[in-house]
Amino acid sequence: MTAFLGITGFIALVTAIVFVRNLAGKAAAKVTAPVERAVFSGTYASGLAEAKAVLKIASPVAPLETIDKIVDAVGVGNAFPGLKAALYLKSRTGESVVFAFGSRAAGDVFIASVRLATSDTGSSGTFQVNRWHEQGAIVQGAKDMARLRDGIGTAVQELGGSATAEIVDGSVRRRLQA
């Protein structure tokens, strides 16, 4: 009986230590994140710019054809990646496609979508990152966001359309046009 109580007490103590360390880590991250963002403001600003960029799309073909071209050009799999983070197709309809970047270990690092509607000249819509994760001054997956946006812009351009990347707060304006 004493051995049982000793083992139970030890397990409770280890659990309490792990819980307190986890709580302390989260509290420290909340305190240090603003400091890191201030010190590494350029890194944070450029990552945030990638996450907030909106790609305005105008394509001369119907939404379904545009979505097909985008998915083919980006070249992603349908399966959720294993341990190494990768871009994958989360869902797809005739007028939209949702991409995610992540892994089984980390979950989804960011989720981005293309949403199109039929227009007089074919289709129009946007690509944007809907959700992303930040760790201190780092916007996780920022380079992959840019790569995905550029791939989508190139696909639309190959169809004879145009894609313009804009950031609500600011600095990046790129025009991709056929």
pLDDT over 50 (residue 95) = yes
Residue 24: the pLDDT is 46
DSSP reduced 3-state for 75: coil
Per residue in 30-89, pLDDT (tens digit) is 445 454 444 444 577 888 888 888 999 999 999 999 999 999 999 887 877 888 889 999
For residue range 131-150, list pLDDT tens digits in order.
Answer: 999 888 788 999 999 999 99
Q: Specify the pLDDT at position 132.
A: 92
Lowest mean pLDDT segment, chosen from 80-84, 121-125, 143-147, 174-178: 174-178
In terms of Cβ atoms closer than 10 Å to its own Cβ (0-12, 13-18, 19+), residue 73 is middle
Question: Mapping DSSP to helix (H, G, I), strand (E, B) and coil, where does residue 140 land?
Answer: coil
- At residue 76, the pLDDT reads 87
Q: What is the pLDDT of residue 71?
A: 95
Evaluate if pTM is beyond 0.75. Answer: no
pLDDT band at 10 (very low <50, low <70, confident <90, very high): low
pLDDT at 154 over 50: yes
The residues, ordered by sequence, that sit 6+ positions from 77 with a Cβ below 8 Å of its Cβ are: 86, 88, 89
**Percent of the chain at pLDDT above 90?**
47
Higher pLDDT, 120 or 45: 120
Q: Quickly name the fold that domain 40-177 has.
A: Alpha-D-Glucose-1,6-Bisphosphate; Chain A, domain 4 (3.30.530)
Q: Which residues pair with 112 in a beta bridge?
A: 99, 129
What is the distance, to the nearest Å, from the Cα of residue 156 to the centroid of all Cα atoms in its chain?
Answer: 20
pLDDT for 2 equals 76
State yes or no: pLDDT of 98 exceeds 90: yes
